[in-house]
């Protein structure tokens, strides 16, 4: 059985005052049926982890592939763990676009994360031009194959399908399009990892809101969501968690 997971990605949003949202979230929505993860900017990980006190998980939004060294401005997997993170988002399309991250880099980062005992949340997704060209499954298959380490298991790795054109736009794929990609991801994982392929959680991300969460969660091979904008407000994120927890 795959445990449901709702992950929030605050991106480059949030100051110390924003931590009040975490208190509201935990107070309003204990959700024993599913796991809840919040990934704030690195500056807030330590304070958020202290407030969460294990009631929700806290994660980073990126890590460097090296363990330590002369990489000004970067953060290692060990540093995330030391700050209280248990997870890290890797290969988000904004990192792939803004920082020219390749599949090989994402894989190296995931290997670093796994070696520190962090759960790697690896993102894949096609651009609108790729979808229009009929390349969606080819692009996603390549991203999955090249970004996922051989050591990945259902326990240490989560895959998030995030169509680039659905992120922050209010547009979402049809449920059939989500199912097509998630069923494809499941089959690819089974082909590579055998029976273990059934254990990986597959999250959908891109304009998930309280109003569309329930139908997305009912879609084939969707085990939860990666939520950007709607994770910034406890009321919205709580409603999404409630939709998943049933
Ligand atoms: P969004 O972002 O929910 O604001 O569309 C999703 C994401 O980038 O993870």
Split at pLDDT 50, 70, 90, the class of 33 is confident
The pLDDT of residue 70: 98
Domain spans in the chain, listed from the N-terminal domain onward? 5-245
Kindly report the average pLDDT of the chain as a whole number: 96
Closest residue CA from atom 3 of ligand 1 = 228
- Beta-carbon contacts of 245 under 8 Å, excluding residues fewer than 6 positions away, are 4, 29, 31, 32, 33, 34
Determine the residue of 5, 6, 7, 9 to mutate for testing ligand 1's pocket, defined as the one with the most ligand atoms within 8 A of the Cβ atom.
9
The pLDDT of residue 53: 87
Say yes or no to pLDDT of 11 above 90.
yes
The pLDDT of residue 29: 64
3-state secondary structure of 139: helix
Split at pLDDT 50, 70, 90, the class of 26 is confident
Say yes or no to pLDDT of 28 above 80.
no
- The CATH homologous superfamily for domain 5-245 is Aldolase class I (3.20.20.70)
| Share above pLDDT 90 across residues of the chain, in percent, rounded to a whole number | 91
Say yes or no to pLDDT of 36 above 90.
yes
Atom of ligand 1 nearest to the CA of 93: 8
Query: Of 42, 216, 204, 191, which is closest to residue 121 (Cα–Cα)?
Result: 204
- Beta-carbon contacts of 47 under 8 Å, excluding residues fewer than 6 positions away, are 16, 19
Contact 7, 40 (CB under 8 A): no
The pLDDT of residue 30: 62
Residue 176 designated active-site: no
Per-residue pLDDT tens digits for 99-117: 999 999 999 999 999 999 9
Say yes or no to pLDDT of 188 above 70.
yes
Distance CA(119)–CA(79), nearest Å, equals 14
User: Radius of gyration over alpha carbons of the chain, in Å?
Assistant: 17
Main-chain dihedrals φ then ψ at residue 150, nearest 5 degrees:
-65, -25
Read off the pTM.
Answer: 0.97
Q: Is 190 exposed, middle or buried (0-12, 13-18, 19+ CB in 10 A)?
A: middle
Q: Which residue has the higher pLDDT, 1 or 173?
A: 173
Atom of ligand 1 nearest to the CA of 209: 3
Ligand 1 center to 71 CA (angstroms): 28
* Active-site pick, 116, 130, 162, 188: 162
Residue 128 designated active-site: no
Ligand 1 center to 229 CA (angstroms): 6
């Amino acid at each position: 059985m795959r445990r449901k997971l709702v992950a929030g990605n605050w991106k480059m949003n949030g100051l110390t005052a924003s931590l009040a949202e975490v208190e509201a979230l935990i107070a309003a929505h204990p959700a024993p049926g599913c796991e809840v993860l919040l990934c704030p900017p690195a500056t807030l990980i330590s304070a958020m982890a202290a407030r969460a006190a294990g009631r929700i998980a806290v994660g980073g939004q990126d890590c460097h592939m090296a363990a330590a060294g002369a990489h000004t401005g970067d953060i290692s997997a060990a540093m995330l763990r030391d700050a209280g993170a248990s997870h890290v988002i890797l290969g988000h399309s904004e990192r792939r676009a803004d920082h020219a991250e390749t599949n090989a880099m994402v894989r190296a980062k995931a290997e670093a994360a796994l070696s520190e005992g962090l759960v790697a949340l690896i993102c894949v997704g096609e651009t609108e031009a790729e979808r229009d060209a009929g390349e969606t499954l080819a692009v996603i298959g390549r991203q999955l194959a090249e970004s996922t380490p051989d050591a990945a298991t259902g326990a240490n790795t989560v895959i998030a399908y995030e169509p680039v054109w659905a992120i922050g736009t209010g547009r979402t794929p049809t449920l059939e399009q989500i199912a097509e990609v998630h069923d494809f991801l499941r089959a690819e994982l089974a082909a590579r990892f055998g029976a273990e392929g059934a254990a990986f959680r597959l999250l959908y991300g891109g304009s998930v809101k309280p109003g569309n969460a329930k139908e997305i969660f009912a879609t084939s091979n969707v085990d939860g969501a990666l939520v950007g904008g709607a994770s910034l407000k406890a009321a919205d994120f709580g409603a999404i968690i409630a939709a998943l927890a049933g």
